[in-house]
Amino acid sequence: MPPSPSGPRSALWQVWFGLGVGLLLVAWLLPVNVKSLNPALLREAGRDTATLAGFGRDLLELDKPGPAALVLEAARKINDPAANEFGATYDSYALRHLDLLPWGGWDVALEPLLASRNAASSAASQPVLNFMVTQQARENLRRYLSVSRLPGVQTLLKTATLTSTQRFVPASKPGGQPLDAVILLSAYLWQTEHLSAGLQREVRGLAEAAVSSGHMGELEDFYLDILTLGKRLNWVQLSELLRTAGNLGTVGQFAHLTRVAPEHLPVIYSAALIAKSADGVANYLIAYGKPGAAHLQLALSHGEGAVKQLVQRQVPVTAGTGPEFELGAAFALRHPELALLTKYAAFLAGIFLLLRAVDLRLFSTVEQTLRGAFPRMGSGLIAAILTFIFFVFSEPFLLNAAPLSDYKIKLTIPVIGALAAPDTAASTTLTTMDISTILSIIVFATIQVGMYVICLQKIAEIFRQSVPAATKLKLMENEENLFDGGLYIGIAGTATALVLQVLHLIDANLLAAYSSNLFGIVCVALVKIRHVRPCKRQLILEIQQSTSA
């Protein structure tokens, strides 16, 4: 080992080393990723925004106990600290307004249905379609809607005369009560302006096409979705949901989610209302399945802003295995692109400064002896390669193939009254890089760094010998196997990792296994291109000069 430098050079390597470590800490702790969302960003986004319990209390103040009941269930599920207090408030409200509970609230437009109000067997919340089981209730509603001046309402009522249905018994035939009730409910929602503008346009287009062609077509799918939701939600719950649904696809997705994931309905419903975007919530759940529901629960626990951020980004949440830079979270949330650039620029600069510090501390004497064998651009090249490797390994969802969600809509043959949920036993979940994978990568990288240092020491040892240049060149050629040692170790590491994975001694992860081979290739390339080749060139020139002299 060459003697350590002293004086200004010694102080310089210490400064570079300290700056490099500081920049690496900034890069490691900055909570920003390319295809995922750090929990620190959710906490920052939800700071000082409405909590789930607070949102539920607001619904009660607006006399909407139906949606508030689902929000209360979700608040208890995410362990909201104010859930018990909110529950007491809800119970007190329910005792004072028992007449509102079956409907989930009050609406002056409900008057036509009051004749069927006795259909509720208790003061508890009732699915809205329960109030339409009697012929008298549907006739009252039909008479009310028949005088509507809204063309969309009249077009929907005309679809009750169509007989070309595939999933329903036609409304005009015996056994057609479910379709009749759904058509009246849909027209009633339109009449009372509980459908969003986008949903109105799509439903009206399908209804007009059905009436003109005599075939229900895609409109029947919408009626089936309303039937599914109407059998599970009361009047105010359904109407509030449809206000935030921007298109038919969202209604279909929510209906599908209520069938395949009824246990998550309070969370999904609450997220749609608090984010004011049923479209975004449905798309997120369909894309990410059960892990997506867990991510929504995490966002709900941090507040309204966190839910909106998650729905807007449409990316999974990382595991959050280490400490996070809270100050950096605020910066990353407001300037995500700039924060991402800062993260990897800091890592690149940090690695570069550390490599230069190592050169000054360990190999300064060799560098002075072998001028040209340690070019200044070498540290930058290594830093760029390691930064790329860090980028790949620090992004847990960068290389993952899109998982097959448990909640993907599947083609089924629906039977009215027996809407069974598809089998979700063979589900695939999102996985992040676990700690064993990270440790394996660190071990493989450390071994290759050690191999790199050994090769540099061998080169320095050869050049310190008092022998002719020709002898030094032969000694360099004799060490070719050593200089290729990084590649051999890399292959051995990959093979060992694959064998251990096959034997189930470690978790199966190809990224961890092949990282050993990658590090070996990088190590050998750096040794031979950055050091061996310039050294041999210098020796060849010395031999040529001595021969010509």
SS (H, E, C) 249-316: HHHHHHHHHHHHCHHHHHHHHHHHHHHCCHHHHHHHHHHHHHHHHHHHHHHHHHCHHHHHHHHHHCCC
Long-range contacts of 385-389, Cβ-Cβ distance < 8 Å, separation of 24 or more: 385/522, 386/351, 387/344, 387/347, 387/348, 387/351, 389/515, 389/518, 389/519, 389/522
Q: What is the mean pLDDT of residues 198-211?
A: 90
The pLDDT tens digits for 255-269 are: 888 888 888 899 999
pTM for the complete prediction?
0.68
* Structural contact between residues 61 and 92, judged by C-beta atoms closer than 8 angstroms: no
Q: Is the pLDDT of residue 374 over 60?
A: no
- pLDDT per residue over 169-204, tens digit each? 888 888 888 888 999 989 998 888 888 888 889 999
If one counts every other C-beta atom within 10 angstroms of the C-beta of residue 518, the result is 19
DSSP state of 3: P
The C-alpha atoms of residue 42 and residue 56 are separated, in whole angstroms, by: 20
* Range list of H helices, 100-146: 135-146
Q: What is the pLDDT of residues 478-494, one digit of tens each?
A: 888 888 888 888 888 88
Mean pLDDT of 99-113: 74
Amino acid at the residue 528: K
Per-domain residue ranges for the chain? 8-26+336-548, 37-317
Confidence of residue 69 (pLDDT cuts 50, 70, 90): very high
Contacts of 496 (CB under 8 A, 6+ apart): none
Instruction: Decide if pLDDT at 335 tops 70.
Output: yes
Task: State mean pLDDT over 306-324.
Answer: 76
Number of alpha carbons in the 13 Å side-chain half-sphere of residue 5: 20
> Does residue 117 surpass a pLDDT of 60?
no
Mean residue pLDDT across the chain: 78
Asked whether residue 218 carries a pLDDT value surpassing 80, the answer given is: yes
